[in-house]
Structure 1
């Protein structure tokens, strides 16, 4: 059994806390300079422990958390939620970004990002074939 106060690699902790989908993504984030622990940019092998402040830059949003516990393995989302407390400023910034993005998407005309469905239906394919065959038929010239 893992001691919740024992130090854990930052890439492993990001994965266990469900801030990244895979440990490799956590490692890449740390290598890319998008992870700070106590104000210092860290490598993936840096150990984190309860009480540390971690900043994870996920795109334009920075997630700031205070580490409450560590975990070696990835558990359920309920367990992951007990590993950290997100700061109120970070929550507000994420929500503001989400709302801004939602407004931007609403202002874009639907036809610009709607692909009209994935694949043509069987009916669509038959119409295309009819049009194509009609275009290929020789015309009677007088």
Structure 2
């Protein structure tokens, strides 16, 4: 049994829609992301009450990764995860390879600035040795 609404609403707020299609866990988190400028509709940062229409491109920053979705149909009530693909086209880039990110050096939060030696090791690893401003 699907939980899809019977009719499509005439308009939907961006915070409500992003919550309904499970981009954000709560509507208040979606509204806070809009107010912080982390949600863009067609390349323009929007407020939580911005009205959406089918075909709009939404770019959001969630947990450090970028989500890019195209609005297929409008929706105001949260639906099951199995029904979500009917309402959007997901154009998000794939997540970074965990093996690649494991190679990057990790600094604990609050550990201060990297030492000259640590910075040179990072530059060598990222292939920035010969670039201007990255002389050894």
Q: What TM-score do the two structures reach when normalised by structure 2?
A: 0.65
The structure-2 alpha-carbon separation of the partners of 1:81 and 1:102, relative to structure 1 and needing over 3 Å to count, comes to farther
Task: Tell me the residue number matched to 1:57.
Answer: 61
In the other structure, the counterpart of 2:46 is 42
4+ residue stretches of structure 1 with deviation over 3 A? 101-108
In structure 2, C-alpha distance between the alignment counterparts of 1:104 and 1:40, rounded to whole Å: 30
State the alpha-carbon separation in 2 of the partners of residues 51 and 69 from structure 1.
8
**What is the CA-CA distance between 1:103 and the residue it aligns to?**
4.5
1:8 is matched with 12
Alignment equivalent of 1:84, drawn from 72, 85, 88 = 88
SS of 2:33 mapped into structure 1: helix
- Residue 2 of structure 1 contacts residue 71 of structure 1 at CA under 8 Å; is this kept in 2? no
Q: 1:107 to 1:35 in 2, by over 3 A?
A: closer
Who is 2:70 aligned against? Answer: 66
Gaps (5+ residues) in structure 1?
109-142
Instruction: Indicate the RMSD between aligned Cα atoms, in angstroms.
Output: 2.3
* Structure number with larger C-alpha Rg: 1
Q: In structure 1, how many angstroms separate the alpha carbons of the residues matched to 2:6 and 2:35? A: 26
Query: Contact 1:66 / 1:85 at 8 angstroms: preserved in 2?
Result: yes
C-alpha deviation, 1:31, in angstroms: 0.5
* Structure 1 residues 32 and 5, CA gap change in structure 2 (3 angstroms): same
Q: Secondary structure at the match of 2:70?
A: strand
Please list the CA deviations of residues 41-86 of structure 1 after superposition, one character each: whole Å capped at 9, or x if unmatched. Answer: 0000001111111111124321111100111100111122211001
Q: Could you list the runs of 5+ residues in structure 2 that have no partner in the other structure?
A: 106-136
